[in-house]
Amino acid sequence: MSRASARETLGALLLIVPLLAFLAVFFLWPLWTMVTAAVVDDTVSRVLPRTAAAIVSWDGRDLPPPQVHEALVADLRQANDQQALGETVRRLNSAVSGFRTLLSRTTSSARDGADPKTIDLAAVDPRWKDPRYWLALKDAVPPYTDRNLLAAVDMKRDADGAVVSEAPGASANRLIMFRTFLIAAIVTAACAAIGLPYAMLAAAVTGWKRSALLLAVLVPLWTSLLVRTTAWFVLLQNEGLINGALQAIGFIDSPLPLIFNRLGVVIAMTHVLLPFMVLPIYSVLLSVPRNLMQAAASMGASPLRAFWRVLLPLSLPGLLSGSLLVFMVAIGYYITPALVGGANDQMISSVIAFYATGTANWGLAGALGVILLLVTTILYLIYGRLSKSPQLLGA
């Protein structure tokens, strides 16, 4: 490369370094953290290294040999980082509850006693005679685990290590994931039903009418979430404008439940996501020459047949892109369903938020996030292929 073009390239790179740095810090790094949180499980091997090393050689039957007991006591004596120890306790507790009290008692005994070899763990706490606790300890030693990913889809490993489903009622992740896809699909269908004729109208008119139509569909997107939410409350609640009007004209006797249920969620999400459907269809329709419909008419096609055979097939690529886009955005929705929905309308993002900020179960939050990321990435790749394919656009 010549010096001049090398300098140009360097200059171009320097210009995008701030953006790359921003993306790296605030996007790539959190993503990486989330993925690793889902699969990394190294608290025990970090905080109780000797125990980890010793327990590996135990075959898991009966109780572990005395070396393991000694190693555990030695580790607990030396564990000074309270936060790390707390993490370990939480981790073990999530496998078998009771570890919190067990370990705190064992730790104080370990610190009091003189010689580690002389401490009898069974005497400190009878639970140490239960193999379950030792098995949980052994299970927590490997640095990588699939328990979070399994739990994210309501599965676990049983005592033999086989993958089984969780007991019904114990975990609702699959149900909520399914519900998320269902709501996103309903919203996509609603956006398509409203957006397709809307986009066709916008493409057919010109001048200020067209600008007005496009603006009308974009404004909800640009409006603040709180303003939108307030507007929905005002419109949809039992004493709201819609119910009030319907009752005033005598259409209904008692108010219709329009909010804090599935209907409210679908209405609110469709309202916001409509531009993602309208704009792709609209831009595809703009590239359709006006006299295609005239040509169809001249050849004997009634307006309905011309629509069905010419305009609709040509707008299909836009409809497809719009649908993918709406679906991808909808499955990540969190606040809107939380504000306008009922208890049965919470989507997967609120579950992730619960595990992340509520119970600090970063492993499960990460695992759910990984699944969501996977689905979105697959959809995005499909979207990318479709929008690059000129064949579909009839170009």
Partner 1 sequence: MQPFIQFEAVSKSFGAHTVIDSLDLTIQQGEFLSLLGPSGSGKTTILMMLAGFERPTRGTITLEGTRIDQLPPHRREMGVVFQNYALFPHMTVAENVAFPLEMKKLPRAEIATKVERALDMVRLGQLKNRRPSQLSGGQQQRVALTRALVFEPRVILMDEPLGALDKQLREHMQLEIRELHKRLGLTIVFVTHDQSEALTMSDRIAVFNGGRIEQIDSPFVIYDTPRTRFVAQFIGETNLIEADVVNVQGGRATIALSDDLVAQVDAAPELAKGQKAWFSLRPERMRLGADPAGDNALTMTIADCIYHGDHMRVQLAQGQFTFTARCERLAGDWKVGAPVVVSFDPRDCTVLAP
What are the CA-CA distances from residue 388 to residues 169, 326, 393 (Å)? Answer: 45, 18, 9
CA quadruple 92, 97, 100, 102: dihedral positive or negative?
negative
Query: Per CB under 8 A, which of residues 366..395 are in contact with partner 1?
Result: 390, 393-395
Judged by CB, which is closer to partner 1: 297, or 338? 297
Q: Does 25 bind partner 1 (CB under 8 A)?
A: no
Stretch that binds partner 1, among 30-38, 87-95, 298-306, 378-386 (CB under 8 A): 298-306
Q: Does 301 bind partner 1 (CB under 8 A)?
A: yes
Among 82, 206, 298, 388, binds partner 1 (CB under 8 A): 298
Q: Which residues pair with 156 in a beta bridge?
A: 164
Q: Does 100 bind partner 1 (CB under 8 A)?
A: no
Among 2, 59, 289, 343, binds partner 1 (CB under 8 A): 289
Q: Does 358 bind partner 1 (CB under 8 A)?
A: no
What is the 3-state composition of the chain as percent helix, strand, coil, each rounded to the nearest 5? 75, 0, 25
Among 296, 320, 347, 356, binds partner 1 (CB under 8 A): 296
What are the CA-CA distances from residue 282 to residues 194, 223, 315, 324, 330 (Å)? Answer: 13, 22, 8, 15, 20
Q: Which amino acid is at 83?
A: Q
Judged by CB, which is closer to partner 1: 46, or 305? 305
Q: Does 302 bind partner 1 (CB under 8 A)?
A: yes
Task: Round to whole Å and give the CA distance between 175 and 319.
Answer: 29
Q: Does 209 bind partner 1 (CB under 8 A)?
A: no
CA atoms within 13 A on the CB side of 276: 21
Smallest gap from residue 390 Cβ to partner 1 (A): 8
Stretch that binds partner 1, among 206-214, 296-304, 335-343, 371-379 (CB under 8 A): 296-304
Spatial contact of 348 and 331, defined as CB atoms under 8 Å apart: yes
Smallest gap from residue 284 Cβ to partner 1 (A): 11
Count, residues near partner 1 per rule CB under 8 A:
23
Of 337, 214, 200, 203, the C-alpha closest to 264 is 337
Structure tokens at 197: 């004729």
Stretch that binds partner 1, among 198-206, 271-279, 294-302, 377-385 (CB under 8 A): 294-302
Among 114, 250, 300, 388, binds partner 1 (CB under 8 A): 300
To which H or E segment does residue 109 belong?
A: helix 99-112
Query: Per CB under 8 A, which of residues 304..323 are in contact with partner 1?
Result: 305-306, 309-310, 313-314
Q: Which residues of 346-379 are buried (b: 16+ CB within 10 A; e: fewer)?
A: bbbbbbbbebbeeeebbbbbbbbbbbbeebeeee
Spatial contact of 292 and 210, defined as CB atoms under 8 Å apart: no
User: What dihedral angle (degrees, nearest 10) is formed by the CA atoms of 33, 34, 35, 39?
Assistant: 100
DSSP 8-state code for residue 206: -
Smallest gap from residue 304 Cβ to partner 1 (A): 10
Structure tokens at 350: 């609120």
DSSP 8-state code for residue 40: B
Smallest gap from residue 307 Cβ to partner 1 (A): 12
Q: Does 292 bind partner 1 (CB under 8 A)?
A: yes
Spatial contact of 63 and 134, defined as CB atoms under 8 Å apart: yes
Judged by CB, which is closer to partner 1: 143, or 303? 303
Judged by CB, which is closer to partner 1: 252, or 312? 312
Smallest gap from residue 280 Cβ to partner 1 (A): 17
Among 294, 357, 377, 389, binds partner 1 (CB under 8 A): 294
Stretch that binds partner 1, among 38-46, 62-70, 167-175, 292-300 (CB under 8 A): 292-300
Which residues contribute to the site for partner 1 (CB under 8 A)?
A: 289, 291-292, 294-303, 305-306, 309-310, 313-314, 390, 393-395
